[in-house]
């Protein structure tokens, strides 16, 4: 059943009785060609592209809870392609181009909104860095525009331009960046995958892997053994816990990132703003709430909630940038578990175990990567060769010295 | 979170900065045959457990001591706090 404007009108006239569930709730079969562990954005996208682009016949997605309940429903919905390093640029460039076509591809309204992302600069050195990044983005085929103070003022007159310590000197504007309705991404991929025959199996937790003679033959789950020609793991913050069951240690730490939403307001922030003098980013959802976030809590954790010092820190940064925020009431805050890698960049790679593949290490930037991550992981699993834009995302890159350290922080995951 | 400092009593976790897994105390022998391999594992691989985790905290805005804190990563409950110096010496380190 294709969705369309005509269909909505037709259903409205007939009491909305014709809508059907967007995906089935199948019983797990005994054997699949490919099993994806993790029904988040990346897992569902992988299954969708396996079925739609790589003609894989029998695919299942196993999710321990319900789809869309993890980080794909917990992020601040920002999509962008403003990376500096070679290993990242072509990947995020592809991802942003895929976001632009996503809704037509999926026949699903994901509310893709290219409202522009503005990274503010507050010092001469930051302006130089922004110019360099902007030039790198242009060379990679993305868009970038360096604004001066007046250029920023024309877009956002209510920012605190006269801050004595951190005056706003300008900003790097990435017009094709923006926001996407995150739940709709999970649902759209789930529906698209389901329509192409993928079994999405919820409430099915993987408890172990069956590995014989160095080859993965399937997974043990809370709903019995499920055999698989290949198994792909895309479980974000739970990566270390799941891969440990296959005897693998990963270059990852799990940290919590908090996000916040205010009460609904009339339209006030047209795009996405990031503060250059503190870690704070903000946009306004279509419901009117200001959606914002800041730093991770800095310590290892699997609890999907953070502590108050970071709440205070984020709100201080926010109010120092947008003084008017002081009059706004905070509605909700929540946390998601990030798989923070040792260089701040992700992995899409084989593992030392035949037939077992890993997708993770997205730190707190996984949402924007969803389409390209799914496509590249599907490509890797279907063809056993890395996709050309994801060649750098190897698990062994620390051994060979090919780190992709955008921030230049070294092997300290909580600083990326 | 409050950390029960062995010398100073309960202190707010905000006074500390976090480094990571306490296994970072056990720096490998740089002259060993397999030093390249062991340093890779030491520097880049982590157990990253869900549950009890021994980790290094630095009392940056306090007495500037390093602590080994045993904390549950699922509940944030802290069950043990030791001076990192004592832990290192118990493992045969000189300091």
DSSP notation for A290-306: EEEEEEEEEEE---S--
Residues of A in contact with B50 (CB under 8 A): 238, 240-241, 254, 302
Query: Is the pLDDT confidence value at A402 over 90?
Result: yes
pLDDT tens-place string over residues A120-162: 999 999 999 999 999 999 999 999 999 999 999 999 999 999 9
Looking at the domain that runs over B2-90, which CATH code has it been given?
3.30.2270.10
Query: Is the pLDDT confidence value at A118 over 90?
Result: yes
Q: How confident is the model at residue A57 (pLDDT cuts 50, 70, 90)?
A: confident
Query: Is the pLDDT confidence value at B95 over 90?
Result: no
A238, A351, B27, B47: CA torsion to nearest 10 = 20
Q: Which backbone phi and psi does A319 adopt, to 5 degrees?
A: -75, -30
Q: CATH top-level class for A117-178+253-340?
A: alpha beta
Q: What percent of chain B has pLDDT over 70?
A: 99
Domain boundary assignment for chain B: 2-90
Q: Are A137 and A169 in contact (CB under 8 A)?
A: no
> Looking at residue B92, what is its pLDDT?
85
pLDDT tens-place string over residues A66-84: 999 999 999 999 999 999 9
Q: How confident is the model at residue A363 (pLDDT cuts 50, 70, 90)?
A: very high
The tokens describing B63, both together, are: 């007495």
Q: Where are the alpha helices (DSSP H) in A85-123?
A: 86-106
Domain boundary assignment for chain A: 21-81+83-108+182-251+343-415, 117-178+253-340
Top-confidence residue, A243 or A409: A243
The average pLDDT across A299-308 equals: 94
Q: What percent of chain A has pLDDT over 90?
A: 98
Q: How many other CB atoms are there within 10 angstroms of residue B33's CB atom? A: 8
Query: Is the pLDDT confidence value at B6 over 90?
Result: yes
| Residue of A299, A351, A400, A405 for testing the chain B interface, max B β-carbons within 10 Å | A299
Scan residues 13-52 of A and list those with Cβ closer than 8 Å to B: none
Query: Same fold for the domain at A21-81+83-108+182-251+343-415 and the one at A117-178+253-340?
Result: no
pLDDT tens-place string over residues A95-108: 999 999 999 999 99
State which residue of chain A sits closest to B56, comparing Cα positions: A299
User: Given an 8 Å threshold on Cβ–Cβ distance, is B73 in contact with A254?
Assistant: yes
> Looking at residue A176, what is its pLDDT?
98
Of B44, B48, B76, the CB nearest to A240: B48
**How many angstroms separate the CA of residue A390 from the nearest CA in chain B?**
21
Q: What percent of chain B has pLDDT over 90?
A: 95
* Domain A21-81+83-108+182-251+343-415, second-level architecture: 3-Layer(bba) Sandwich (3.50)
Cβ–Cβ contact A304 with B under 8 A: no
Q: Report the C-alpha gap between A356 and A137 in whole angstroms.
A: 34
Query: Is the pLDDT confidence value at A16 over 90?
Result: yes
Tokens 């951190």 sit at which residue?
A: A166
State which residue of chain A sits closest to B75, comparing Cα positions: A303
State which residue of chain A sits closest to B38, comparing Cα positions: A399
A259, A260, A265, A270: CA torsion to nearest 10 = -20
- Tell which residue, A160, A134, A121, has the closest CA to residue A323: A160
Cβ–Cβ contact A253 with B under 8 A: yes
Residues of B in contact with A64 (CB under 8 A): none
Cβ–Cβ contact A309 with B under 8 A: yes
């Amino acid at each position: 059943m294709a969705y369309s404007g005509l269909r909505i009108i037709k259903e409205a006239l007939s009491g909305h009785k014709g809508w059907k569930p967007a995906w089935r709730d199948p019983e797990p079969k005994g054997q699949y060609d490919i099993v994806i562990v993790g029904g988040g954005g990346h897992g569902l996208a992988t299954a969708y592209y396996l079925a739609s682009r790589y003609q894989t016949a029998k695919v299942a997605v196993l999710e321990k809870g319900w789809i869309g309940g993890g980080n794909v429903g917990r992020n601040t919905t920002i999509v962008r392609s403003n990376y500096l390093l070679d290993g990242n640029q072509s990947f995020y460039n592809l991802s942003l181009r895929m976001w632009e076509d996503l809704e037509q591809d999926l026949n699903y309204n994901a509310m893709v909104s290219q409202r522009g992302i503005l990274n503010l600069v507050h010092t001469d050195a930051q302006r130089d860095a922004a110019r360099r990044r902007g030039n790198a983005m242009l060379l990679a085929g993305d868009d970038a525009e360096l604004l001066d103070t007046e250029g920023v003022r024309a877009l956002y007159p209510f920012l605190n331009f006269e801050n004595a310590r951190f005056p706003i000197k300008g900003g790097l504007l990435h017009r094709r960046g923006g926001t996407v309705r995150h739940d709709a991404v999970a649902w759209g991929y789930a529906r698209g995958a389901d329509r192409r025959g993928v079994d999405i199996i919820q409430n099915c937790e993987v408890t172990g892997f069956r590995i014989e003679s160095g080859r993965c033959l399937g997974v043990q789950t809370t709903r019995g053994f499920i055999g698989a020609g290949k198994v792909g793991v895309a479980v974000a913050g739970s990566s270390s816990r799941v891969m440990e069951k296959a005897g693998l240690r990963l270059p990852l730490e799990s940290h919590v990132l908090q996000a916040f939403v205010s009460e609904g307001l009339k339209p006030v922030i047209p795009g996405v703003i990031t503060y250059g003098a503190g870690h704070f980013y903000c946009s306004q959802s279509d419901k009117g709430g200001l959606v914002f976030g800041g730093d991770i809590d800095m310590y290892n954790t699997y609890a999907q909630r953070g502590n108050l010092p970071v709440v205070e820190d984020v709100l201080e940064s926010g109010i120092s940038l947008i003084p008017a925020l002081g009059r706004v009431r905070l509605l909700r805050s929540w946390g998601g578990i990030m798989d923070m890698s040792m260089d701040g960049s992700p992995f899409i790679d084989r593992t030392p175990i035949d037939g077992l593949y890993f997708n993770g290490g997205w730190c707190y930037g996984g949402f924007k990567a969803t389409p390209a991550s799914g496509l590249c992981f599907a490509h890797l699993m279907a063809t056993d060769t890395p996709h050309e834009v994801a060649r750098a995302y190897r698990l062994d890159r620390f051994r060979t010295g090919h780190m992709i350290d955008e921030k230049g922080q070294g092997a300290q995951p909580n600083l990326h | 979170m409050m950390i029960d400092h062995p010398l100073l009593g309960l202190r707010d976790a905000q006074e500390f900065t976090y480094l990571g897994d306490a296994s970072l105390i056990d720096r490998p022998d740089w002259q060993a045959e397999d030093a390249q391999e062991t340093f890779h594992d030491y520097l880049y691989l982590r157990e990253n457990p869900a549950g009890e985790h021994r980790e290094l905290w630095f009392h940056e805005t306090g007495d500037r001591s390093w602590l080994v804190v045993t904390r549950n990563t699922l509940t944030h409950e802290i069950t043990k706090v030791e001076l990192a110096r004592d832990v290192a010496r118990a493992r045969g380190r000189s300091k």
